Amino acid sequence: MGPLNGIRVVEFTGLGPTPMAGMLLADLGASVIRLDRPAAADAMSAGGAGPHMSEGRTVLPADLKSDEGRALALDLVSRADVLLEGFRPGVMERLGLGPDTCLELNPRLVYARITGWGQDGPSAHTAGHDVNYISVNGALHAIGRAGGPPVPPINLLGDFAGGTMFAVTGVLSALVERQTSGRGQVVDAAMVDGSALLMSMVHEDRARGSWSDERGTNYLDTGAPWYDVYECADGRYVSVGCIEPRFYAAFLEGVGLAGEDLPDQWDRSGWPRLRERFAEAMRTRTRDEWGEVFDGVDACVTPVLSLEEAPDHPHVRARGSLVRQGGRVVPGPAPRFGRTPGGVTRGRGRPDTDEVLREWGVTS
């Protein structure tokens, strides 16, 4: 049933981090009702795909600009433990569904707001996307190769790591605190804040003088030749991350360079020479041949698999981290629980709406 069995969540339709937060809470066992625009909700009820990450949970049509739609939303809010919304600041207030209204109606409500810029500050009402939020907090500047431009890490860092995961952390923290106080509260999850916090280790290294603002020159950003990816004989790649001395030694042994007179691992002046030799060595075999060489060896060398290949990796398959289901690849549940395992909402049919509403105590 999942550790959040019994927790009720009202999710207001959105893009990216908000539906993913609803998805994760549903995976953990919460009962999630998503309110969407009538046309979109009807299309999903008729079998349409719907927005990203909106599968497997109840969807109700609600025109929030109408009295009837607001009444439905407020009725559900009065029964809910958690509210999720990802609109720009002020939108929910203009709809008559702001925190003051909802917390007065339901003082135990955890009201989670997921935005790029946060609820205040000079950019709070400005449009933006993942790439913008990680631009202004320095995170994007640090990602890329030496001499090249910053490389956006798709929308993992801002939207989902900085937004969804901190929103879920905030929701769960507020639910725990509510056990003591009996009161809910507002959670302001801003992607610009969350992705900045994820850079904590880099900021510490920079303060210690061991990290340069010049990207692609540091030990974790492809500056070090023993933390990078290398092309193999077949044009595919392996990843190398042998930071620790014993892993580095195992790597040198595996690629046949253990007996060669090479610069010291941490001698930055020798890094170009090491990179040249590593690249030459890795081009002597295919990716899968290197996979066999390093299989079970503590050298921190692994094949770089495509999205299509990844579910078939023995460890990924054994864990169920990715599974093939209905002709598609579906991520498995995370994290795992020993006593109250969660489930996966992706690829699952929608719950019976009437049954869910009855469980919530909605009879009309």
In the chain the first and final C-alpha atoms are separated, in Å, by: 27
Average pLDDT score, the chain? 95
What is the CATH code of the structural domain delimited by 227-304? 3.30.1540.10
pLDDT, tens digit (0-9, with 9 covering 90-100), for 180-238? 999 999 999 999 999 999 999 999 999 999 999 999 999 999 999 999 999 999 999 99
pLDDT for 44 beyond 80: no
Which residues are part of the catalytic machinery?
A: 129, 159
Check: CB of residue 165 under 8 Å from CB of residue 197: no
Q: Which of 114, 259, 118, 112 is nearest to 187 (CA)?
A: 112
Distance between CA atoms of residues 282 and 299, nearest Å: 14
∠ CA(307), CA(310), CA(314), 5° rounding? 175
Sheet containing 31-36: order of strands: 58-61, 31-36, 8-12, 82-85, 110-115, 185-190
Band the pLDDT of 342: cuts 50, 70, 90: confident
pLDDT value for 206: 97
pLDDT value for 45: 74
Q: What ranges do the domains of the chain cover?
A: 8-199+337-360, 227-304
pLDDT for 147 beyond 80: yes
What is the CATH code of the structural domain delimited by 8-199+337-360? 3.40.50.10540
pLDDT value for 53: 85
Band the pLDDT of 170: cuts 50, 70, 90: very high
pLDDT, tens digit (0-9, with 9 covering 90-100), for 63-97? 999 999 999 999 999 999 999 999 999 999 999 99
Check: CB of residue 185 under 8 Å from CB of residue 110: yes
pLDDT for 46 beyond 80: no
Check: CB of residue 2 under 8 Å from CB of residue 341: yes
